[in-house]
Amino acid sequence: DSGVTQTPKHLITATGQRVTLRCSPRSGDLSVYWYQQSLDQGLQFLIQYYNGEERAKGNILERFSAQQFPDLHSELNLSSLELGDSALYFCASSVGQAPNTGELFFGEGSRLTVL
Amino acid sequence: QQQVKQSPQSLIVQKGGIPIINCAYENTAFDYFPWYQQFPGKGPALLIAIRPDVSEKKEGRFTISFNKSAKQFSLHIMDSQPGDSATYFCAANLMVGGSNYQLIWGAGTKLIIKP
Protein backbone atom coordinates (compact mmCIF):
# COMPACT_ATOMS: atom_id res chain seq x y z
CA ASP A 1 0.00 0.00 0.00
CA SER A 2 1.60 3.23 -1.20
CA GLY A 3 -0.56 5.46 1.00
CA VAL A 4 -1.99 7.27 -2.03
CA THR A 5 -5.76 6.90 -2.34
CA GLN A 6 -7.68 7.32 -5.56
CA THR A 7 -11.42 7.28 -6.10
CA PRO A 8 -13.35 6.00 -7.88
CA LYS A 9 -11.52 2.80 -8.88
CA HIS A 10 -13.76 2.29 -11.88
CA LEU A 11 -15.95 4.69 -13.82
CA ILE A 12 -18.07 4.12 -16.90
CA THR A 13 -19.60 7.07 -18.66
CA ALA A 14 -20.73 8.27 -22.06
CA THR A 15 -19.12 10.50 -24.62
CA GLY A 16 -19.63 14.18 -23.99
CA GLN A 17 -19.92 13.74 -20.24
CA ARG A 18 -17.75 15.17 -17.48
CA VAL A 19 -16.11 13.24 -14.63
CA THR A 20 -14.00 14.09 -11.61
CA LEU A 21 -11.25 11.85 -10.28
CA ARG A 22 -10.02 12.33 -6.75
CA CYS A 23 -6.66 11.73 -5.14
CA SER A 24 -5.45 11.89 -1.57
CA PRO A 25 -1.64 11.94 -1.37
CA ARG A 26 0.46 10.18 1.25
CA SER A 27 0.44 11.87 4.60
CA GLY A 28 2.98 14.69 4.53
CA ASP A 29 3.47 14.73 0.75
CA LEU A 30 2.96 18.15 -0.76
CA SER A 31 3.27 17.28 -4.45
CA VAL A 32 0.63 15.53 -6.49
CA TYR A 33 1.09 14.29 -10.05
CA TRP A 34 -1.47 13.02 -12.53
CA TYR A 35 -0.64 10.46 -15.21
CA GLN A 36 -2.66 8.83 -17.97
CA GLN A 37 -2.01 5.25 -19.06
CA SER A 38 -3.91 3.97 -22.07
CA LEU A 39 -4.20 0.24 -22.80
CA ASP A 40 -0.73 -1.31 -23.08
CA GLN A 41 0.78 2.16 -23.25
CA GLY A 42 3.32 3.96 -21.19
CA LEU A 43 2.75 6.64 -18.62
CA GLN A 44 1.84 10.06 -19.96
CA PHE A 45 2.48 12.89 -17.51
CA LEU A 46 -0.45 15.28 -17.32
CA ILE A 47 0.16 17.82 -14.55
CA GLN A 48 1.85 18.40 -11.19
CA TYR A 49 0.77 20.46 -8.20
CA TYR A 50 2.84 21.45 -5.21
CA ASN A 51 1.16 22.77 -2.10
CA GLY A 52 -1.81 24.03 -4.05
CA GLU A 53 0.05 25.57 -6.96
CA GLU A 54 0.53 24.23 -10.46
CA ARG A 55 4.21 23.28 -10.89
CA ALA A 56 4.52 21.48 -14.20
CA LYS A 57 2.34 20.69 -17.14
CA GLY A 58 2.67 17.78 -19.53
CA ASN A 59 0.48 16.66 -22.38
CA ILE A 60 -2.76 17.64 -20.75
CA LEU A 61 -5.68 18.37 -23.04
CA GLU A 62 -7.57 21.66 -22.71
CA ARG A 63 -10.67 19.59 -21.86
CA PHE A 64 -8.86 18.38 -18.75
CA SER A 65 -8.15 20.44 -15.66
CA ALA A 66 -6.91 19.79 -12.17
CA GLN A 67 -6.52 21.47 -8.84
CA GLN A 68 -5.03 20.82 -5.45
CA PHE A 69 -6.99 21.90 -2.42
CA PRO A 70 -5.74 23.32 0.92
CA ASP A 71 -5.99 19.87 2.53
CA LEU A 72 -3.65 18.71 -0.30
CA HIS A 73 -6.06 16.36 -1.98
CA SER A 74 -6.34 16.81 -5.72
CA GLU A 75 -9.02 16.44 -8.34
CA LEU A 76 -8.68 15.83 -12.06
CA ASN A 77 -11.64 17.00 -14.10
CA LEU A 78 -12.22 15.50 -17.51
CA SER A 79 -14.89 17.10 -19.68
CA SER A 80 -16.45 16.59 -23.12
CA LEU A 81 -15.24 13.03 -22.89
CA GLU A 82 -14.28 11.14 -26.01
CA LEU A 83 -13.79 7.43 -26.60
CA GLY A 84 -10.03 7.99 -26.68
CA ASP A 85 -10.06 9.27 -23.12
CA SER A 86 -10.68 5.73 -21.89
CA ALA A 87 -7.61 4.93 -19.82
CA LEU A 88 -6.18 4.38 -16.39
CA TYR A 89 -5.55 7.64 -14.58
CA PHE A 90 -2.92 7.52 -11.88
CA CYS A 91 -2.20 9.94 -9.14
CA ALA A 92 1.23 9.98 -7.53
CA SER A 93 2.71 11.98 -4.70
CA SER A 94 6.15 12.92 -3.48
CA VAL A 95 7.58 14.48 -0.38
CA GLY A 96 8.90 17.71 -1.78
CA GLN A 97 8.35 20.08 -4.62
CA ALA A 98 10.01 17.70 -7.00
CA PRO A 99 11.44 14.26 -6.49
CA ASN A 100 15.16 14.80 -6.97
CA THR A 101 15.55 11.12 -6.18
CA GLY A 102 12.90 10.25 -8.75
CA GLU A 103 10.69 8.53 -6.19
CA LEU A 104 6.99 8.90 -6.71
CA PHE A 105 4.35 6.98 -4.80
CA PHE A 106 1.47 5.91 -7.02
CA GLY A 107 -2.11 5.15 -6.21
CA GLU A 108 -3.90 2.17 -7.74
CA GLY A 109 -5.50 4.28 -10.41
CA SER A 110 -8.97 5.13 -11.64
CA ARG A 111 -10.07 3.18 -14.68
CA LEU A 112 -12.22 5.34 -16.92
CA THR A 113 -14.28 3.77 -19.68
CA VAL A 114 -16.03 6.09 -22.11
CA LEU A 115 -18.79 4.44 -24.17
CA GLN B 1 16.91 15.04 -26.30
CA GLN B 2 14.75 14.55 -23.23
CA GLN B 3 13.63 11.08 -24.29
CA VAL B 4 14.45 7.81 -22.63
CA LYS B 5 14.33 4.94 -25.11
CA GLN B 6 13.43 1.56 -23.61
CA SER B 7 13.66 -1.86 -25.20
CA PRO B 8 12.36 -4.43 -25.75
CA GLN B 9 8.66 -3.63 -25.70
CA SER B 10 7.90 -7.13 -24.47
CA LEU B 11 9.94 -10.05 -23.23
CA ILE B 12 9.20 -13.69 -22.44
CA VAL B 13 11.72 -15.63 -20.36
CA GLN B 14 11.69 -19.07 -18.79
CA LYS B 15 11.76 -19.30 -15.02
CA GLY B 16 15.31 -19.05 -13.76
CA GLY B 17 16.46 -17.08 -16.78
CA ILE B 18 17.91 -13.57 -16.68
CA PRO B 19 15.71 -11.02 -18.44
CA ILE B 20 17.53 -7.84 -19.45
CA ILE B 21 15.76 -4.57 -20.16
CA ASN B 22 17.69 -1.75 -21.74
CA CYS B 23 17.31 2.01 -21.69
CA ALA B 24 19.21 4.75 -23.49
CA TYR B 25 19.25 8.51 -23.15
CA GLU B 26 20.89 11.54 -24.75
CA ASN B 27 20.69 14.28 -22.15
CA THR B 28 23.73 14.17 -19.88
CA ALA B 29 21.94 16.41 -17.39
CA PHE B 30 19.86 13.48 -16.14
CA ASP B 31 21.05 12.86 -12.59
CA TYR B 32 19.07 9.90 -11.26
CA PHE B 33 17.73 6.79 -12.94
CA PRO B 34 14.92 4.88 -11.22
CA TRP B 35 13.18 1.72 -12.35
CA TYR B 36 9.53 1.16 -11.59
CA GLN B 37 7.62 -2.12 -11.51
CA GLN B 38 3.92 -2.27 -12.30
CA PHE B 39 1.71 -5.30 -11.74
CA PRO B 40 -1.59 -5.58 -13.60
CA GLY B 41 -4.27 -3.45 -11.98
CA LYS B 42 -1.78 -1.63 -9.76
CA GLY B 43 0.15 1.58 -9.88
CA PRO B 44 3.89 1.60 -10.59
CA ALA B 45 6.17 1.24 -7.60
CA LEU B 46 9.83 2.15 -7.28
CA LEU B 47 11.96 -0.97 -7.63
CA ILE B 48 15.57 0.20 -7.68
CA ALA B 49 17.45 3.34 -8.69
CA ILE B 50 20.97 4.43 -9.51
CA ARG B 51 22.99 7.63 -9.76
CA PRO B 52 25.23 8.18 -12.83
CA ASP B 53 28.45 8.06 -10.77
CA VAL B 54 27.78 4.39 -9.94
CA SER B 55 28.28 1.60 -12.48
CA GLU B 56 26.21 -1.08 -10.80
CA LYS B 57 23.66 -1.42 -8.05
CA LYS B 58 22.13 -4.62 -6.69
CA GLU B 59 19.04 -5.09 -4.58
CA GLY B 60 18.19 -8.72 -4.08
CA ARG B 61 17.75 -10.34 -7.49
CA PHE B 62 17.54 -6.99 -9.28
CA THR B 63 20.64 -5.30 -10.69
CA ILE B 64 21.06 -2.03 -12.55
CA SER B 65 24.09 -1.71 -14.79
CA PHE B 66 24.99 1.83 -15.79
CA ASN B 67 27.28 2.83 -18.66
CA LYS B 68 27.75 6.58 -18.47
CA SER B 69 29.92 6.89 -21.57
CA ALA B 70 27.41 4.98 -23.69
CA LYS B 71 24.46 6.75 -22.02
CA GLN B 72 22.79 3.42 -21.40
CA PHE B 73 21.49 1.58 -18.39
CA SER B 74 19.85 -1.77 -17.97
CA LEU B 75 17.90 -3.86 -15.51
CA HIS B 76 18.81 -7.51 -14.95
CA ILE B 77 16.64 -9.90 -12.97
CA MET B 78 18.56 -12.88 -11.64
CA ASP B 79 16.84 -16.25 -11.16
CA SER B 80 13.60 -14.80 -12.52
CA GLN B 81 10.32 -16.09 -11.11
CA PRO B 82 6.74 -16.05 -12.44
CA GLY B 83 5.97 -13.48 -9.73
CA ASP B 84 8.34 -11.07 -11.50
CA SER B 85 5.91 -10.91 -14.44
CA ALA B 86 5.04 -7.23 -14.66
CA THR B 87 5.63 -4.13 -16.72
CA TYR B 88 8.93 -2.42 -16.02
CA PHE B 89 9.57 1.26 -16.66
CA CYS B 90 12.91 2.98 -16.66
CA ALA B 91 13.01 6.69 -16.00
CA ALA B 92 15.45 9.56 -15.74
CA ASN B 93 15.29 12.56 -13.49
CA LEU B 94 16.10 16.01 -14.81
CA MET B 95 16.39 19.33 -13.05
CA VAL B 96 14.27 21.75 -15.07
CA GLY B 97 14.85 24.92 -13.10
CA GLY B 98 15.31 26.08 -9.54
CA SER B 99 14.54 23.09 -7.35
CA ASN B 100 12.11 21.58 -9.80
CA TYR B 101 12.74 18.18 -11.33
CA GLN B 102 10.97 16.30 -14.09
CA LEU B 103 10.81 12.53 -14.41
CA ILE B 104 11.15 11.33 -18.01
CA TRP B 105 9.71 7.85 -18.56
CA GLY B 106 10.62 5.04 -20.90
CA ALA B 107 7.80 3.36 -22.80
CA GLY B 108 7.77 0.26 -20.60
CA THR B 109 8.60 -3.43 -21.06
CA LYS B 110 6.00 -6.10 -20.48
CA LEU B 111 7.85 -9.05 -18.95
CA ILE B 112 6.39 -12.54 -18.73
CA ILE B 113 8.25 -15.26 -16.84
CA LYS B 114 7.07 -18.71 -17.90
CA PRO B 115 6.97 -21.42 -15.20
Average pLDDT, chain B: 93
> Is the preceding peptide bond at B8 cis, omega within 30 degrees of 0?
yes
Work out the average pLDDT over A56-76. 95
pLDDT of res. B2: 72
Q: Which residues of B touch A4 (CB under 8 A)?
A: 43
Angstrom CA distances, A33 to A56, A72, B110, stand at 9, 12, 23
Kindly tell me if the per-residue pLDDT of A102 is higher than 80. Answer: no
Work out the average pLDDT over B57-79. 96
* pLDDT tens per residue across span B8-54: 999 999 999 999 999 999 988 888 999 999 999 899 999 999 998 99
pLDDT-based confidence at A41, cuts 50/70/90? Answer: confident
Measured distance CA(B102)–CA(A19) in Å, rounded: 27
Mutate to test the interface with A, among B103, B104, B110, B112 (most CBs of A within 10 A): B103
Rounded-to-10 torsion of CA A40, A41, A42, A46: -130
> Given an 8 Å threshold on Cβ–Cβ distance, is A101 in contact with B32?
yes
Kindly tell me if the per-residue pLDDT of B98 is higher than 80. Answer: no
Work out the average pLDDT over A66-85. 97
Kindly tell me if the per-residue pLDDT of A99 is higher than 70. Answer: no
Phi and psi at B28, nearest 5°, equal: -75, -5
The SS3 assignment for B83 reads helix
- E strands of chain A, at which residues? 5-7, 10-13, 19-24, 31-37, 44-50, 53-57, 64-68, 74-78, 87-94, 105-106, 110-114
Please indicate whether residue A96 or residue A24 has the higher confidence score (pLDDT): A24
